[in-house]
């Protein structure tokens, strides 16, 4: 069941669900915008359009088109020049959340942290000096 929330666009009160993140009025506006974008992209000559060209030609905001892409309503496999920005660097990508460069950078950083941790543990183990006491002969 949904919960009461304010619409992020118009601030009116509505019941928010997983499928609907805006009120009914704004949802209808988004649907009209989707139809505009979809009709534009369906034309053969527009299938290779880049995101900025789609924004300019349709008048639909870049954020809303990106929302349609993230929701899977616009399939990137059908439109070779469309993409969305990497969440770390902003480079245009077509799958997942990060570009390959950012993923590799994160993996390198994680490996470096792991190596530093292993070296630190090894140093802590070697710094433990054991002291042995000998007892003299018992009388």
Question: For 41-79, what is each residue's pLDDT tens digit?
Answer: 999 999 999 999 999 999 999 999 999 998 888 988 889
pLDDT for 95 equals 87
| CA pair distance 114, 116, nearest whole angstrom | 5
Binned at pLDDT 50, 70 and 90, residue 20 comes out as confident
Query: 78-113: per-residue pLDDT in tens?
Result: 898 888 889 999 898 988 889 999 999 999 999 999
Which of 72, 46, 71 is CA-nearest to residue 57? 46
* Cβ neighbour number for residue 5 with a 10 Å cutoff: 16
CB contact at 8 A, 99 and 86: yes
Residue 129 has pLDDT above 70, yes or no: no
Query: 28-44: per-residue pLDDT in tens?
Result: 999 999 999 999 999 99
CB contact at 8 A, 134 and 124: no
Q: Is 130 helix (H, G, I), strand (E, B) or coil?
A: coil
């Amino acid at each position: 069941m949904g919960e009461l929330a304010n619409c992020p666009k118009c601030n009116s009160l509505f019941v928010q669900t997983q499928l609907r993140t805006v009120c009914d009025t704004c949802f209808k506006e988004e649907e009209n915008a989707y139809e505009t974008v979809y009709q534009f992209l369906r034309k053969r000559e527009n299938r290779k359009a880049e995101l900025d060209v789609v924004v300019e030609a349709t008048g639909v905001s870049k954020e809303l088109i990106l929302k349609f892409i993230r929701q899977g309503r616009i399939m990137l496999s059908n439109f070779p020049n469309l993409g969305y920005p990497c969440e770390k660097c902003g480079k245009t990508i077509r799958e997942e959340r990060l570009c390959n460069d950012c993923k590799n950078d994160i993996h390198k950083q994680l490996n470096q942290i792991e190596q530093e941790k292993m070296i630190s543990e090894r140093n802590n183990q070697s710094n433990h000096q054991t002291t042995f006491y000998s007892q003299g002969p018992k009388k």
